[in-house]
Every structure is written in structure tokens, then in C-alpha cells.
């Protein structure tokens, strides 16, 4: 899965990535079933790793999810984090800034939501909206965009130097796949609540968004906070890639279970 990591300093062209890629797994039948089985093993492993993270309280993990509408940010959280204890995991969704938030720098509200030590934090959309939607709609200048790239890199470096591991995932779907998922929302009564007519307006700017994602990923995929371009047309493969990278990040921390409290003799301890 390391193949999906964008190396620092790379110039990204999404034409070089296939949103329908499924790696070594065939797209149907046994391949899909094998990938799902492997994902479940990773989720089971994630459970134990998260408990150790929570017990040690020395590190934290921040997962950033970005992608076009219907790319599967909610689905990724629901499936990959299904085995995690909610007590040690928190999901944050960044909406339109409030008047108070607009009175501060654009990272002010984001820093406040960064995960505390021992926890996993998930940003469902993130500070990157301030260099994506704002750029596509022309709400900020190109000079401001480039300045924010540098500020984001320094902000993420600060988090990493203080014990936070950062994983950033761009869930990459094709325009055709998005069309099918939007149509599914129209046809399925169980999904109609998700409908937002604004999604159609943003879809008209598809090419502009792809260019914006190329620029932001190129400028902010660093050694300390890398981007992964995740093929997301197949939901089951998307889940596998993200689960694999999350487990790898937690394993790389090499956390060990904390020792028992000093002065307690468990051999002689009796509970009456």
C-alpha cells in the first residue's frame, strides 16, 4: 500500500492514478472477498493497537480524509474504525466557519480539534478546505493559497514534533463513479436524506477541483505528514488501503503496554 504514498517534493498529476485500481485483488468474486477478509484482520489488529495507544498516552494519531462529494469519507470511518473503542477516537467535521472562527487565523479552529495524546482524531474534511473550495471559487488569491500551503506544512510539523502521527488520505473517485453514486441517492429512499443540490453545482467544477487537489497534494505531502492517493471507486479496496496504512502507522510507534503501578504486589493482592 506504500505505492499510494506521495513522496515529498513530487509534482502530482491525477492522470497517473487509477481510481478503479484494486492492487493485487481482482475486481470481482474471490478478489473482493479476499480483500474484505484481509480488511477484517486489520480492523481486529487495530483494536489492540488503539488500546495500547490509549494506555500509553504518549502519542496520538490524526487521520485527514479529503475527497469529492460521495467519495466515501463517512463510509471509510464507519468501516475502518468499526472495531475501535469510541472512548479513544473522535471525528471532527469542519463546516462553514463561524463569525468567531473567521475573526482568527484559518488554523485556529483546527488546532483546537487536534487529538490529545492517547487518542485517534479523524478530520472528515479539514483545514484543506481553506485551500480547496476557497481557491476553486476564487475567494482567496493565489498568493494567499501559497502562503497557506507553507503555514499548513509548519502547523503539521508542529503537531508531529509534539507526538502526533499524521496520515492524509485523498479518496480518489472518477467523475463517472460520482455520477452513479449521486443517482443512487436519488433512487434509494434510504439515501435520499443525503441529497444536497449544492453537490451538482460543485460537480460542474470537477476539473477545477482536480487541479486544486493536484496542487495541494504536491505542495503539502511531506516526510512528516504524507498524502496517500487512495483508489476509491471500489469501496472495499478503499477500506483496505486506509486500514493498512492506519495499522502500519500505529505499529511504527512501537508502543508497549505500560507497567503496573509501583508498589503493588499482585501475587499477594486479594480482593474480598
| pLDDT tens track for 107-150 | 999 999 999 999 999 999 999 999 999 999 999 999 999 999 99
State which residues of the chain have pLDDT below 50. Answer: none
- State the pLDDT at residue 182: 93
Pick the CATH number of 2-252 from 3.30.70.270, 3.30.70.20, 3.40.50.300, 3.40.50.720: 3.40.50.300
- State the pLDDT at residue 191: 82
Contact 152, 145 (CB under 8 A): no
CB atoms within 10 A of CB 43: 19
Contact 62, 167 (CB under 8 A): yes
For residue 173, CA distances in Å to 18, 49, 153 come to: 9, 30, 26
> Would you call 188 exposed, middle or buried from its count of C-beta atoms within 10 A (0-12, 13-18, 19+)?
exposed
Contact 215, 136 (CB under 8 A): no
- State the pLDDT at residue 7: 96
- Cell 496542487: give the residue: 215
> Would you call 38 exposed, middle or buried from its count of C-beta atoms within 10 A (0-12, 13-18, 19+)?
middle
Which cell is 96 given? Answer: 462553514
Spatial distance between the Cα atoms of 165 and 225, rounded to a whole number of angstroms: 8
Sign of CA dihedral 79, 230, 168, 193: negative
CA angle (228 as vertex; 247, 68 as ends), nearest 5: 115
Spatial distance between the Cα atoms of 53 and 168, rounded to a whole number of angstroms: 19
Spatial distance between the Cα atoms of 263 and 272, rounded to a whole number of angstroms: 20
Nearest to 182 by CA among 170, 200, 209, 208: 200
The ranges assigned to domains in the chain are 2-252
- State the pLDDT at residue 195: 80
- State the pLDDT at residue 236: 96
- State the pLDDT at residue 194: 81
Contacts of 129 (CB under 8 A, 6+ apart): 94
Which cell is 6 given? Answer: 506521495
Amino acid at each position: 500500500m506504500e505505492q499510494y504514498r506521495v513522496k515529498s517534493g513530487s509534482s502530482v498529476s491525477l492522470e497517473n492514478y487509477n481510481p478503479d485500481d484494486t492492487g493485487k485483488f481482482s475486481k470481482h468474486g474471490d478478489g473482493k472477498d479476499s480483500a474484505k477478509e484481509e480488511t477484517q484482520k486489520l480492523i481486529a489488529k487495530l483494536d489492540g493497537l488503539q488500546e495500547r495507544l490509549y494506555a500509553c498516552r504518549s502519542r496520538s494519531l490524526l487521520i485527514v480524509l479529503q475527497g469529492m462529494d460521495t467519495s466515501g469519507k463517512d463510509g471509510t470511518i464507519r468501516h475502518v474504525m468499526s472495531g475501535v473503542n469510541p472512548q479513544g477516537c473522535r471525528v471532527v467535521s469542519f463546516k462553514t466557519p463561524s463569525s468567531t472562527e473567521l475573526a482568527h487565523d484559518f488554523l485556529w479552529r483546527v488546532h483546537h480539534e487536534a487529538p490529545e495524546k492517547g487518542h485517534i482524531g479523524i478530520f472528515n474534511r479539514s483545514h484543506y478546505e481553506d485551500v480547496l473550495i476557497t481557491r476553486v471559487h476564487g475567494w482567496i488569491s493565489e498568493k494567499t493559497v501559497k502562503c497557506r500551503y507553507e503555514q499548513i506544512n509548519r502547523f503539521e510539523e508542529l503537531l508531529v514534533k509534539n507526538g502526533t502521527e499524521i496520515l492524509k488520505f485523498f479518496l480518489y473517485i472518477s467523475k463517472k463513479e460520482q455520477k452513479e453514486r449521486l443517482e443512487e441517492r436519488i433512487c434509494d429512499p434510504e439515501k435520499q436524506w443525503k441529497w444536497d443540490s449544492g453537490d451538482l453545482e460543485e460537480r460542474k467544477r470537477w476539473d477545477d477541483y482536480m487541479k486544486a487537489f493536484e496542487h495541494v497534494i504536491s505542495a503539502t505531502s511531506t516526510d512528516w505528514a504524507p498524502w496517500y492517493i487512495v483508489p476509491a471507486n471500489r469501496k472495499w479496496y478503499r477500506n483496505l488501503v486506509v486500514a493498512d496504512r492506519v495499522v502500519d502507522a500505529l505499529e511504527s510507534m512501537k508502543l508497549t503496554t505500560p507497567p503496573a503501578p509501583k508498589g503493588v504486589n499482585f501475587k499477594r493482592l486479594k480482593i474480598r
